[in-house]
């Protein structure tokens, strides 16, 4: 009898401890902040080479099942990867499955090499380029009072190289809204890939030597891909936002304050909101063709408002944040139709205004009459 009471008491104490522990450690026992990620469609994107701790849990769902977590990452041709599941809680036995499609019913490879509470290292065989999915689940027999159910997942390039970091935010160039799931890659040595997160933020590891020129590309459905040229900074963090233009759309054109001006009127030209990042902007004014004066580039107002410089092929870049580009009286300007241009090119290209680099040209006109 005494034994039974003792056993009951021990169980009761254990259960009480279990409940207490769950209350004391909600981050471990309850859904993690990356939920829901229970299907390939909800998969969280993995930044290749990122070792920043991100704690996930395999909690008990409302209907008593064990949680499953999905991840996705982009494989580059000729690059090999290790998936590491680390800081594994003592109550779970992690199994990692690899899938080559969001619709795949069965995994193309899986790893369950270690026992309960141990880290799992999953060395992937060479894969074709594309998006792959990982599913992490708990294979431990026990379902009762699982407390230590946390883990972290890393996808590392083999051999792992960690140098500088490149990060920023991917946005819609017109609305400024964040864009998620944009694929990010660079030409630093062998490329590493990344996706932008729900808030548009991305980061990727730069494995270029200091001072090396490289290209940064962002692409996502519905937008024109953007490739800009940058210079690597070893060890340090390089920040570049990426404003993407929606397919089939141009930036709004510069707006003149009137459609017709005459001598003594004030010409005022305002620009749309321009989002800075791995792009350069140019503002220009074309004189009437019959005046034969050609194209003038408008320099940024912070330097000198109304500074019209004849276009010689090496334009002055517009990167000001002020929206007023021109503010001057009309005095003895040739009569005729003037064209206002807003040009956008990727950052760092050798001939920014060459046709192949002119990513956006939006125009408006005004007339100067007698
Ligand atoms: Ca989870
Ligand atoms: Ca989940």
126-148 confidence digits (pLDDT tens):
899 999 999 999 999 876 678 89
Instruction: Give me 353's structure tokens.
Output: 């205004």
Give the end-to-end CA distance of the chain in Å, rounded to a whole number.
113
**pLDDT value at position 174?**
94
Using the mean position of ligand 2's atoms as its centre, give its distance from the Cα of residue 69 in Å.
4
Kindly give the distance from the C-alpha atom of residue 202 to the centroid of ligand 1, in angstroms, as a whole number.
Answer: 21
Residue 289 has pLDDT above 80, yes or no: yes
Domains, in order of start, for the chain: 30-158 (2.60.120.380), 164-244 (2.60.40.1120), 255-369 (2.60.40)
Rounded Cα–Cα distance for residues 305 and 327 (Å): 7
Residue 2 CB: number of other CB atoms within 10 A? 6
What pLDDT sits at residue 299? 62
Quick one: pLDDT at residue 8?
A: 36
Instruction: Identify the DSSP state of 8.
Output: H
What are φ and ψ of residue 357, in 5° steps? -100, -15
Predicted local distance difference test score (pLDDT) of residue 321: 52
Q: Find the ligand nearest to 42 CA.
A: 2
Cα-Cα-Cα-Cα torsion 111, 112, 116, 120, nearest 10 degrees, comes to: -30
Are 281 and 274 spatial neighbours (Cβ–Cβ below 8 Å)?
yes
- Specify the pLDDT at position 349: 82
- How far, in Å, from the CA of 38 to the mean position of ligand 1? 8
pLDDT at 79 exceeding the cut of 50: yes
Q: What is the pLDDT of residues 309-334, one digit of tens each?
A: 666 555 555 555 567 888 888 988 88
CA of 198 to the centre of ligand 2 (A): 17
Of 43-52, 158-167, 205-214, highest mean pLDDT:
43-52
How many angstroms is it from 35 CA to the middle of ligand 2? Answer: 5
* Residue 150 neighbours by CB distance under 10 Å: 21
**164 against 186, higher pLDDT:** 186
* Distance of CA 33 from the midpoint of ligand 2 (Å): 10
- How far apart are the C-alpha atoms of 32 and 68, rounded to whole Å? 11
Ligand that lies nearest to the alpha carbon of residue 58, given by its number in the listed order: 1
Looking at residue 332, what is its pLDDT?
Answer: 84
Average pLDDT score, the chain: 83
Q: How far is the CA of 64 from the centre of ligand 1 (A)?
A: 14
Give the residue-averaged pLDDT of 187-208: 83
Among all ligands shown, which has an atom nearest to the Cα of 153? 1
Distance 164 CA to ligand 1 centre (A): 30
**What confidence score (pLDDT) does residue 34 get?**
95
Give the number of whichever ligand sits closest to the CA of residue 40: 2
* Separation of CA 32 and ligand 1 centre (Å): 5
Inform me whether the pLDDT recorded for 175 exceeds 70: yes
| 111 pLDDT tier (thresholds 50, 70, 90) | very high
pTM higher than the cut 0.75: no
**What integer pLDDT is reported at residue 346 of this predicted model?**
92
Mean pLDDT value of segment 72-97? 93
Cβ proximity of 318 and 281 under 8 Å: yes
Cα–ligand 2 centroid distance for 68 (angstroms): 4
How much is the pLDDT for 104?
A: 92
- pLDDT per position as a tens digit, 334-356: 899 999 998 898 998 877 777 77
pLDDT digits (tens, 9 = 90+) for 22-40: 443 433 467 999 999 999 9
Q: What is the mean predicted confidence (pLDDT) over 199-212?
A: 84
Instruction: Give distance in angstroms: CA of 145 to centre of ligand 2.
Output: 18
Position 285 confidence tier, pLDDT thresholds 50, 70, 90: confident
Distance 334 CA to ligand 2 centre (A): 68
> What is the separation of C-alpha 130 from the centre of its chain, rounded to a whole number of angstroms?
17
CA of 370 to the centre of ligand 2 (A): 71
């Amino acid at each position: 009898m005494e034994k039974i009471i003792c056993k009951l008491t021990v169980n009761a104490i254990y259960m009480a401890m279990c409940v207490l522990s769950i209350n004391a450690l909600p981050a471990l026992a309850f859904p993690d902040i990356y939920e829901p990620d229970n299907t390939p469609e909800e998969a969280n994107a993995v930044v290749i080479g990122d070792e920043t701790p991100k704690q996930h849990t395999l909690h008990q769902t409302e209907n008593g099942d064990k949680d499953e977590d999905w991840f996705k990452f982009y494989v580059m041709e000729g690059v090999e990867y290790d998936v590491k599941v680390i800081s594994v809680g003592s109550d779970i036995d992690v199994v990692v499955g690899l899938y080559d499609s969001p619709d795949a019913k069965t995994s193309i490879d899986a790893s369950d090499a270690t026992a309960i509470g141990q880290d799992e290292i999953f060395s992937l065989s060479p894969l074709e380029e594309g998006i792959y999915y990982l599913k992490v689940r708990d294979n431990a027999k026990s379902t009762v009072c699982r407390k230590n159910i946390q883990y972290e997942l890393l996808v590392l390039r083999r051999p792992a190289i960690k140098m500088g970091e490149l990060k920023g935010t991917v946005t819609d160039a017109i609305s400024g809204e964040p864009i998620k799931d944009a694929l990010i890659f660079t030409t630093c040595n062998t490329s590493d890939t990344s996706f932008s997160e729900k808030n548009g933020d991305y980061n990727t590891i730069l494995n270029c030597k200091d001072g090396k020129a490289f290209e940064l590309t962002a692409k996502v459905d519905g937008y024109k891909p953007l490739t800009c040229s940058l210079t690597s900074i070893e060890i340090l963090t390089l920040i570049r936002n990426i404003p993407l233009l929606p397919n089939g759309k141009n930036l709004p054109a510069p707006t003149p304050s009137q459609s017709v001006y005459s001598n003594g009127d004030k010409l005022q030209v305002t620009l749309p909101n321009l989002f800075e990042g791995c792009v350069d902007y140019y503002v220009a004014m074309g004189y009437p063709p019959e005046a034969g004066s050609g194209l003038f580039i408008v320099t940024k107002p912070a330097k000198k408002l109304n500074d019209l410089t004849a276009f010689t092929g090496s334009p002055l870049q517009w990167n000001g944040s002020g929206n007023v580009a021109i503010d001057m009286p009309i005095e003895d300007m040739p009569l005729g139709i003037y064209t206002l241009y807003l040009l956008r090119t990727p950052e760092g290209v050798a001939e920014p205004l060459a046709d192949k680099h002119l990513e956006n040209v939006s125009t408006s006109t005004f007339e100067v009459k007698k």
